[in-house]
Amino acid sequence: MAREVRERLEGRDRQEGKAQRIPYLSPTERVKRLGPEREALYQKNTTPLSSSFVRLCIMRAELVDGPVNPTREPVKDSPTLTGEIKGLARYLGADLVGVSRLQESYLYLENDLPHTHVISLGLPMEHGIMKTAPSRKSYTEFWRAYNDLAEMVVHLAAHIRGMGYSARAHHVRAGDLLLIPCAVDAGLGELSKMGLLITKKYGPRIRLGAVSTDLPLEVDRPVDLGIQDFCEKCSKCARHCPTGAIPEKKTWVRSVRKWQVDGERCVETFSKSFGCGMCIRHCPWNKPDTLLHRISREAAVRSTTARSLLTKADDWLYGK
């Protein structure tokens, strides 16, 4: 969650027509900006297990980059190479993998990367645990997923450097990239009203990591899951957000029309109540992978009428 909160906070600083690249502040620095009282609450809510996941992520910040093998493996052909790299990411544990071209606007202000592509990795959080959000369990689950992703991207980047190509890992505690736009471009899912990525299989119950590289890979296409239309009809996350951080209407942000979540309001609740996650918990796309929900998702992707019916059915079955 910290990654998304950071992105939301940074989104607040952006204005249309202004700098396309934005300053980087770590989640810890962001929380410090809330003052000592809030910071103490944030620390208090950290369970021993989630603390160890956070510490492991911090340790992996040292491992995101390294020397590149001077003997470069020749690339056979780009589609085969892309398939192998995606297969390796899945072998390491990623559930969703996609490739996009690196855009300068996805870099933080002071950072520069000599890379051309981004490999985005997604890992779901347990549905049963996220139903309890906000709780110590759900907070630990956020960090369990982030920690697993940190390990995967560090491994994948090291493997690519071993092939003789530059590569850098990006995870929640060490990243130069905005992960959500990269994942959208790589076809992992769509941006939603709550400001998070919604994937077809897991909805918003997903965490992200990435590897940037100069390996010549095949890029994926963004997907249209009908989320923009679904979110227009739904607003459940906005109704359940305890601070009103999620807006009903879209605004222009960096020349893109989107729902702009108020990151400062969100982080305030986030720091006091186990990472909050009420928006994820109540989203109609956050359902277990049963036959009924698979059929519902297919219908929602294909038909605007189905989207209208499903938002009403979700209210009726699971409450408004």
User: Which of 17, 46, 20, 42 is CA-nearest to residue 32?
Assistant: 42
- Counting contacts by CB under 6 A, is residue 231 touching ligand SF4? yes
Nearer to ligand SF4, 202 or 285 (CB): 285
Least Å from the CB of residue 285 to ligand SF4? 6
Distances in Å between the Cα of 178 and the Cα atoms of 3, 10, 11 are 9, 10, 10
Both tokens assigned to 116? 């051309």
Helix-strand-coil percent breakdown of the chain, rounded to 5? 50, 15, 40
Interface residue with ligand SF4, options 3, 155, 171, 236 (CB under 6 A)? 236
Check binding of 188 to ligand SF4 (CB under 6 A): no
Beta bridge partners of 101: 117
Residue of 273, 272, 249, 271 whose CA lies nearest to 261: 249
Q: Residue 159, CB half-sphere, CA atoms under 13 Å: how many?
A: 16
**Is 278 among the residues that bind ligand SF4 (CB under 6 A)?**
yes
Q: Is 235 in the site for ligand SF4 (CB under 6 A)?
A: yes
Interface residue with ligand SF4 among 245, 300, 306, 310 (CB under 6 A) is 245
Q: Does 42 bind ligand SF4 (CB under 6 A)?
A: no
Among 145, 225, 246, 300, binds ligand SF4 (CB under 6 A): 246
CA-based nearest residue to 161, from 257, 293, 68: 68
* Least gap, CB of 195 to ligand SF4 (angstroms): 7
CB 147 within 8 A of CB 141: no
From the list 50-58, 107-115, 171-179, 236-244, the region that binds ligand SF4 by CB under 6 A is 236-244
Size of the site for ligand SF4 (CB under 6 A): 25
Interaction between residue 261 and ligand SF4 (CB under 6 A) = yes
Please give the residue ranges that form the binding site for ligand SF4 (CB under 6 A).
Answer: 192-194, 230-231, 234-237, 241-243, 245-246, 261, 266, 269-270, 276-279, 283-285
